Amino acid sequence: MTEVLKEKLPLTIKLFLLLCSFMACYLLLLRIGNFSPKKTVLPVTFRKIWKTPVYLVMIPITLLSIFIIAGCYPGVFSTDSASNWNDVATNTFSNWHPVTYLYILKIIQRIFGNPFPLVILQTLLWLFASQYAVYLLEKYTSIRYGDILYTLFSVIFIYSYRALGNIEKDTLWNIALFLFCLFLFDFIKSKQLFAWYKIMGFTLIACMVCTIRHMGNVIVLITLLALLLYEWKSKYTDTKKRKKQLLFLLGVSILIPVFLINILGSHVLHMVPNEEYVKYSVPVSMAGAVASKETLDAEDIAVLEEIMPLEKWQSCYDKYYADSLSRTWGAIGDDALKLRDKDFQKKILLLNAKFLFKYPVTYLTAYFDMTSIIWEMGTPADGYE
């Protein structure tokens, strides 16, 4: 949605799209919170294709998906994804990128020789997610024509379809995250034991979210722990068995990243580790954001100028691209190597804590701008490739 609003569209269209977004959020809250303007909830039935479980609205969704990916053959590369493809071709593995994604590319490269099967995989996952979403609308809501509304919203936010042709870990991860949310919603609303095929699907998707992007396991583990706490307070008939299912999910979500990253990545693929200063990319970028938008104290300026002049902090800051202030190939250049200083690494973390409380709006806005490339399927219209 934010990408659409950034485009040069007429104000009336932007307002209409905003209204659609707010209505979608409102309807979602009604369903999740179990409160509705109507006291009587009548079941709804969406039209299906003949006697199959596939919904009729999947026809336009599928046709649009095929149309989009057909025009992207063999896939749209960014400089980042082209680097990934080249790395796996030369068996050069490092933890600049999640090893799971690199290994998916390696398998596709070895078997097919071109990246289009990844585009097909992303499209199939997207179609499955859409089918599952419509199924949940039918099962748990009383929204008439909910299937048509879902289809209309998905077409309005066409950036989701456009992303299907991208050879990017972001696209695969975002679809997996969407599916993770759907499984989570289904688990909470069902109030009964999950079928074995659903728990296996939930587990597979949780593993994808854990390993296809760095720190994805944090999202999964925190969510599952919160769900386990919620389940602990519930008094459903199958609560004990549901807890066991959640504990299984938690266990696999912990073990799979260890196996794929620590064992497969480090000991089998001999993955080259990053330099330690790389992990400070986001704190450094947040400091750059505040430096470029706020008037800093002399003490704070002194800390930043241990690396480079304040003016360079301001000019090098890019709200979407952390590398600009933290990599030698970014605008900062060789000054990035000064970030190896252990004392400065401690200072930049303390400075981030100070900036968060002193300039909360600026800091959090910068943080969400930076992370939007992960939780939005489309790429920003005003930056990042």
Domain-wise residue ranges, the chain: 1-77+115-167, 276-375
**Tens of pLDDT along 124-182?**
999 999 999 999 988 888 777 888 888 988 888 777 888 899 898 888 998 999 999 99
Tokens of 154: 């998905």
**Tens of pLDDT along 344-371?**
899 999 999 999 999 998 998 898 888 7
* Among 357, 353, 21, CA closest to 157: 21
Is residue 321 predicted with pLDDT exceeding 90?
no
Is residue 27 predicted with pLDDT exceeding 70?
no
**Tens of pLDDT along 100-138?**
888 889 899 999 989 999 999 999 999 999 999 999 988
Please enumerate, as own/partner, the contacts of 362-365 that have beta carbons within 8 Å and a separation of 24 or more. Answer: 362/289, 362/290, 362/293, 362/294, 363/286, 363/289, 363/290
